[in-house]
A = this chain, B = another copy of it.
Amino acid sequence: METLRKRRGTGRVTLADVAKSAGVGAMTVSRALRTPEQVSEKLRDKIQLVVEELGYIPNQAAGALASGKSDSIALILPSFADKVCSNFIPSFQEILNQAGYQLVIGYSNYSITQEEQLLSTLLANNPAAVVLFGSEHSAQTVKLLKNSQAAILELAEINELCIDLNVGIDHYQSSKEMTRHLIKQGFQKIAFVGARSEQSILRKQLRGWQAAMLENYLAPDHFLTSNDEPNIELGCEGVAKLLLQQPDLDALICSHEEIAMGALFECQRRVLQIPKDIALTCLDGSTFSEKCIPRLTSIEINYAKMAGKAARLLLQRLTGQDQNLLKQIDIGFKLCERASS
Tell me whether A80 and B70 are in contact in the complex, defined as CB-CB below 8 angstroms, given that A10-B149, A262-B291, A268-B293 are known contacts: no
With a cutoff of 8 Å between Cβ atoms, the chain B residues found around residue A120 in the complex are 57
Known: A80-B86, A291-B232. Is A147-B59 also a contact (CB below 8 A)?
Answer: no
In the assembly, what is the distance between CA of A109 and CA of B261, in Å? 27
Residues of B contacting A55 in the complex (Cβ-Cβ under 8 angstroms): 147
- Of A42-50, A97-105, A171-179, which binds chain B? A97-105
Flag whether A269 is at the interface (Cβ < 8 A).
yes
Q: Which residues of A22-81 are within 8 A (CB) of B? A: 55, 57-62, 64-65, 68, 70, 72, 79-81
* Cross-chain contact A90 with B80 (CB below 8 angstroms): yes
Q: Which stretch, A122-130, A244-252, A308-316, A327-335, touches the partner chain B?
A: A122-130
Copies of the protein in its oligomer: 2
Answer whether residue A85 sits at the interface, using C-beta atoms and an 8 A cutoff.
yes
A106→B93 contact, CB < 8 A: yes
From the candidates B9, B65, B109, name the one contacting A59 in the complex (CB within 8 A).
B65
When A10-B149, A68-B10 are in contact, do A288 and B85 touch as well, CB less than 8 Å? no
A233 sits at the interface (CB 8 A)? yes
Among candidates B57, B94, B97, residue contacting A123 with C-beta atoms closer than 8 Å: B57
Within A242-278, the residues touching B (CB, 8 Å) are: 258, 261-262, 265, 268-269
CB of A121 within 8 Å of the partner chain: yes
Sort chain A's interface into a size bin: 35 or more
Interface membership of A319, Cβ < 8 A: no
- Residue pair A68, B8 in contact (C-beta under 8 Å): yes
Rounded to whole angstroms, the CA-CA distance of A107 and B265 in the bound complex is: 34
Q: Mark A142-169, 1 if CB is under 8 A from B, else 0.
A: 0000010100000000000000000000
Q: Pick the contact of A293 from B109, B122, B269 — CB < 8 Å? A: B269
Query: Which residues on the B side are within 8 Å of A293 (C-beta)?
Result: 265, 268-269
Instruction: From the candidates B90, B232, B269, B292, name the one contacting A107 in the complex (CB within 8 A).
Output: B90
Whether A93 and B107, one on each chain, are in contact in the complex, defined by CB atoms closer than 8 angstroms, is: yes
* A236 adjacent to chain B (CB < 8 Å): yes
In angstroms, Cα B109 to Cα A75, docked, is: 19
**CA separation between A72 and B80, bound complex, in Å?**
20
